[in-house]
């Protein structure tokens, strides 16, 4: 099981044998990220080194350019779980704040790579940048490595098949996944993630309309910084805190049949297995498996309820496959 270190609060591992390290804002822990980590682990094993992934407690853009910071594909706890699940020896979570943002590339290398992890090998994507104003790059890393005793390898970006891709539009990236989600192309987003897109939140009280219509729902309040997919109806999986996973039909949007101008998006999940738990105030994990249709406005409540029944049937078929 990987050790999780929150630097600078926890003690650094500093392996006696040295480490092979990769660094990045691992938002999504997608196929491209996992290709780098798989190569990292292979090289570490060949050289008798421990493997380590360095990530951040928030996306650096939220500090350096908050007005244009991207929404997050994974909450921090999920990101740590996914990284630890790759089989690396250490996951190092750096505090990213104003002090870290002003740290030079050279200071970062001395403090974190050498001081905290005794790096002997650093593997990053060929487009990697780091340090104050992103002045650090693979070339600078190599220069510092020759001085401080570590090697550097820059890997080509990969496509959806996990192999190196030459064309920029083929690259798997967090940005490409966000674009696919916003465009309603859940299939493309999930393919790049290598799993269904997941959001986490807490179940809050709603207006109970779904219960009145025979389709009770859990209203999941998702943090504003999390990336939701496009409005619509989805076949989904719903996980409770006890680890039980339930098939569901999820509605995401502003409920135009009921309200003309609902100012917020609402994520509602109806559990399809007949269970009717008291879910209020529970944390929930919702995985979007397939997009069934876009959000629509219906002329009558009766036609909406009939469509909900059809959506539930469609979701059951998808999730039964």
Domain boundaries, the chain: 3-175, 197-320
Superfamily of segment(s) 3-175? HUPs (3.40.50.620)
Q: Which CATH architecture has domain 197-320?
A: Beta Barrel (2.40)
The pLDDT of residue 298 is 84
Q: Are 266 and 255 in contact (CB under 8 A)?
A: yes
CB-count exposure of residue 129 (10 Å: 0-12, 13-18, 19+): middle
Contact 127, 41 (CB under 8 A): no
Q: When comparing pLDDT for 149 and 264, which is higher?
A: 149
Provide the pLDDT for residue 169: 57
What pLDDT shows up at residue 46?
Answer: 97
List, for residues 207-248, the tens digit of each pLDDT value.
Answer: 777 677 878 899 999 999 999 999 999 999 999 999 999 999
Task: Provide the 10 A C-beta neighbour count for residue 158.
Answer: 23
Alpha carbons 318 and 311: distance in angstroms, whole number: 11
- φ/ψ of residue 6, rounded to 5: -105, 100
Q: Which of 123-137, 140-154, 162-176, 264-278 has the highest mean pLDDT?
A: 140-154
Here the tokens at position 226 are 């999390």
pLDDT 10s digits, 31-90: 989 989 999 999 999 999 999 999 999 999 999 999 999 999 999 999 999 999 999 999
Share of the chain above pLDDT 90, in %: 74
Query: Considering only 31-45, 89-103, 262-276, 301-315, which range has the smallest mean pLDDT?
Result: 262-276
- Which residue stretches of the chain are H helix? 31-47, 61-64, 76-84, 98-101, 105-108, 138-148, 174-182, 186-193, 209-212, 301-320
CA distances from 236 to 20, 155, 269 (A): 38, 35, 8
Mean pLDDT of all residues in 156-167: 59
State if pTM tops 0.85. Answer: yes
- CA–CA gap between residue 40 and residue 91 (Å, rounded): 13
Supply the pLDDT for residue 192.
Answer: 95
Q: Residue 199 has what pLDDT?
A: 98
**pLDDT at position 321 over 60:** yes
């Amino acid at each position: 099981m990987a050790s999780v270190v929150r630097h600078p609060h926890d003690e650094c591992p500093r392996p006696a044998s040295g480490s092979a390290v990769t660094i990045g804002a691992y938002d999504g822990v997608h196929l491209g990220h996992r290709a780098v980590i798989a190569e990292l682990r292979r090289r570490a094993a060949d050289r008798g080194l421990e493997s380590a992934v360095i990530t951040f407690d928030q996306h650096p853009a939220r500090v350096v350019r908050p007005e244009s910071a991207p929404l997050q594909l994974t909450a921090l706890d999920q990101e740590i779980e996914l990284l630890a699940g790759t089989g690396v020896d250490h996951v190092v979570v750096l505090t990213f704040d104003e002090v870290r943002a002003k740290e030079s590339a050279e200071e970062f290398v001395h403090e974190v790579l050498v001081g905290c992890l005794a790096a002997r090998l650093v593997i990053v994507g060929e487009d990697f940048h780091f340090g104050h104003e992103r002045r650090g790059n693979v070339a600078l890393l190599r220069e510092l490595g020759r001085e401080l005793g570590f090697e550097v390898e820059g890997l080509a970006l990969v496509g959806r098949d996990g192999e190196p891709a030459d064309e920029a539009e083929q690259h798997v990236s967090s940005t490409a996944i966000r674009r696919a989600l916003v465009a309603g192309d859940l299939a493309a987003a999930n393919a790049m993630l290598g799993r269904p897109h997941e959001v986490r939140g807490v179940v809050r009280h709603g207006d109970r309309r779904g219960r009145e219509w025979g389709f009770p729902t859990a209203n999941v309040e998702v943090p504003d910084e999390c990336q939701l997919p496009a409005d619509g109806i989805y076949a989904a999986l719903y996980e409770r805190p006890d680890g039980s996973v339930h098939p569901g039909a999820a509605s995401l949007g502003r409920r135009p049949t009921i309200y003309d101008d609902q100012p917020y998006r609402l994520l509602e999940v109806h559990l399809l297995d007949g269970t009717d738990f008291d879910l209020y105030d529970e944390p929930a994990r919702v995985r979007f498996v397939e997009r069934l249709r876009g959000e629509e406005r219906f002329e009558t409540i009766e036609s909406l309820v009939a469509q909900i029944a059809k959506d539930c049937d469609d979701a059951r078929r998808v999730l039964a496959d």
